[in-house]
Structure 1
Amino acid sequence: MRIVTLFFLTGVLFASCEKDISVNLHQQVDKLVVEGKIESGRYPQVVLTRSLDYFSRIDPAQLLNSFVHGAVVTVSNGSKTITLKEYAGNAGGGTPLFFYSADSMQLGNAFRGEVNMTYTLKIVADNKSYEAVTTIPPITLLLDDMFWQKARSKEDSTKARLIVRIIDPPDLGNYARYFTKRNREPYYPGLNSVINDELTNGTTFDMGVDAGVDRNKKIDFEASGYFERGDTVTLKFCNIDKATYDFWRTLDFAFSSTGNPFSSPTQILSNVSGALGYWGGYTVQHKTIIIPK
């Protein structure tokens, strides 16, 4: 809503020469932002940051200062609770990343994600408590096959589309999120990275999969969905629960519509009480294909 209002007020400002208009944009109180996941066969991982004001100037120093350190982060599977340890890592391209995960010195007491298990995340940071629950669902949307097709345009003769075949069970209410890895690049999610079976329930269907994108870089929206001939592509296809689906569905839409004054305001649906972000469980399937030149 603030974006539309800002464009409207800008128009009024330039249309009138009779009166000065002062716009008071209230500074928002920062909130905890949680990006937490637990994948099948892997230890939990949680990234904690503080939200930044919409109109603030963002630079590397400010991003670095947004990480939350010294929080108490625990994960429970119902019978065992582990306290995560803070680590410093690299998000790629020299960008620092701080995250919480299982203590490597006490892995005997830790646990990895298991299918059909429910996990409770608890966070204590800045004398405030936050909590979220997720489930690692069974494989319902089954990744059956993957193949490629030539791009239709002659101008795109070196490009290819990725197609997957999904088997969906007769029970409604299945959700998935995907990532692609091209050659030696990291896994990146697609611009619209989640699907559900509202229209495909109980069928076997083919679906085009756009190449994942690095959202920290400028994106060419017309060319971003293609792969290049000669690429080795690995698809990471994850079954997720509805809360994780709702978070990424709304966030993907908000990201794609950024800068469009005619788009509807989108509320990002978080499943972390009192915070922004999500705590999600992933059941992971992989397939790899080599697209010939």
Structure 2
Amino acid sequence: MPIGCVYTHIDAFHHTRFEFLLSTLYFCNPMQKAYFPLLMVVLACTACEKEITVDLQSKEDRLVVEGIIEDGRFPMVTISRSLNYFSKITPAQLLESFVHDAVVTVSNGVRTHQLREYRTDTTNGIALYFYSADTAQFHTAFTGQPGNSYTLKIEVEGKTLHAVTTIPEPKLRLDSMWWMDSGNSSTEKARVLVKVTDPPERGNYVRYFTSRNGDRFLPGLNSVFDDHIVNGTTFDVPLDAGVDKNQKIDFDTYGYFKKGDTVTLKFCNVDHNTYDFWRTADFAFTATGNPFATPTRTQGNVQGALGYWGGYSVTYKTITIPK
């Protein structure tokens, strides 16, 4: 029975066994409040080949890193411990899972900045902890810039963790965005489409999020794509509405927007490691419960821990779908 790691997203009071990582990160000044989801790794999934016994309860906790840097934004990192599959998820347990007092540094090759730990409170009164730019040390702080690589180093609990990411140049270019009727009997549903131009050079990757009427950005159920087939062309592609994977997905309405919605697209060029992480995570999520699916290990890039450190080159576009 092959074993593959499955990442589970746990957001305040919502816990779904097979959710993944962060459904979005709202970047802000470190002194402002924001919504910060929490990455947890809780179980191994199986496929039917040969039966073995797996003692999930004896699985040791592992460090889990969730980090991101966008162009024009400060880096942000959360560090937590994995939760046992059989754990009852409570606000107190979530609070206890955060790892404090880590030495977290990010380098752009010229400057190295030590991040500071902050606390933010959600609307439900749950405290969340994250590391971001130290406002008392702004002379070494920096924001992300396309074309640069960023090294993350974490020293915690006697361990040293490393990861490298790149914010790529926005080579996959978002040209335009529009809407069309859903094509079924519903007069309320609408589809959003985009026109994208890809350069002749291969190896470009995108991850996208959508926001509806000013709500938080949510990724698509399959949130990444590459230029393997469309290399060097200008092409049209429909984009499904982003989803909150903490909630049950209604596949009767999945992918559609409503007439009257104002839709903002967050279109992100990402590097290959970030693409690979989300490609495997999205696939594992959609394959959960399918006995014929191939087991997939979510491919993180943090040496010494579970998780992910990713860079995003971001473009925004907004349209309003008339009623």
TM-score (norm 1): 0.89
Segments of structure 2 that go 5 or more residues without pairing to the other structure are: 4-43
Report the counterpart of residue 248 of structure 2 in structure 1: 218
Q: CA deviation at 1:207?
A: 0.7
Change in 2 beyond 3 A, CA 1:153/1:165: same
Residue pair 2:161, 2:305 contacting (<8 A) in 1 also: yes
Change in 2 beyond 3 A, CA 1:132/1:234: same
Q: CA deviation at 1:197?
A: 0.3
Q: CA deviation at 1:92?
A: 5.8
Matched, 1:48 2:79: yes
| Selected match of 1:266 from 296, 302, 318 | 296
Residue aligned with 2:301, SS: coil
| Selected match of 1:164 from 194, 211, 228 | 194
Change in 2 beyond 3 A, CA 1:221/1:107: farther
Matched, 1:290 2:320: yes
Q: CA deviation at 1:53?
A: 2.0
Residue pair 2:210, 2:220 contacting (<8 A) in 1 also: yes
Q: Give the Cα separation in 2 of the matches to 1:187 and 1:124.
A: 31
Find the structure with the greater CA-based Rg. 1
Q: What is the identity percentage for the equivalent residue pairs of Structure 1 and Structure 2?
A: 57
Q: Give the Cα separation in 2 of the matches to 1:158 and 1:247.
A: 35
Residue pair 1:162, 1:227 contacting (<8 A) in 2 also: yes
Q: Give the Cα separation in 1 of the matches to 2:123 and 2:250.
A: 20
**Which amino acid in 2 is paired with 1:281?**
G
Residue aligned with 1:105, SS: helix
Report the counterpart of residue 190 of structure 1 in structure 2: 220
Residue pair 2:48, 2:291 contacting (<8 A) in 1 also: no
Change in 2 beyond 3 A, CA 1:250/1:79: same
Q: Give the Cα separation in 2 of the matches to 1:215 and 1:137.
A: 27
**Which amino acid in 1 is paired with 2:119?**
A
List aligned pairs for 1:1-293, cutoff 5 A.
1=3, 3-4=45-46, 24-90=55-121, 94-154=125-185, 156-293=186-323
**Which amino acid in 1 is paired with 2:79?**
L
**Which amino acid in 2 is paired with 1:211?**
A
Q: Give the Cα separation in 2 of the matches to 1:190 and 1:6.
A: 29
Q: Give the Cα separation in 1 of the matches to 2:54 and 2:109.
A: 51
Change in 2 beyond 3 A, CA 1:174/1:6: closer
Change in 2 beyond 3 A, CA 1:24/1:110: closer
Q: Give the Cα separation in 2 of the matches to 1:24 and 1:120.
A: 36
Report the counterpart of residue 12 of structure 2 in structure 1: none
| 1:125-147 deviation line (CA, Å, top 9, x unaligned) | 11111000111110110000000
Number of residue pairs aligned between Structure 1 and Structure 2: 281
Change in 2 beyond 3 A, CA 1:35/1:148: same
Q: Give the Cα separation in 2 of the matches to 1:94 and 1:253.
A: 33
Report the counterpart of residue 29 of structure 2 in structure 1: none
Residue aligned with 2:281, SS: helix
Q: CA deviation at 1:34?
A: 1.1
Q: Give the Cα separation in 1 of the matches to 2:142 and 2:315.
A: 20
**Which amino acid in 1 is paired with 2:297?**
Q
Q: Give the Cα separation in 1 of the matches to 2:231 and 2:207.
A: 16
TM-score (norm 2): 0.82
* Alignment RMSD (CA, Å): 2.2
Q: Which has the higher helix share?
A: 1
Segments of structure 1 that go 5 or more residues without pairing to the other structure are: 10-21
Q: CA deviation at 1:55?
A: 3.4
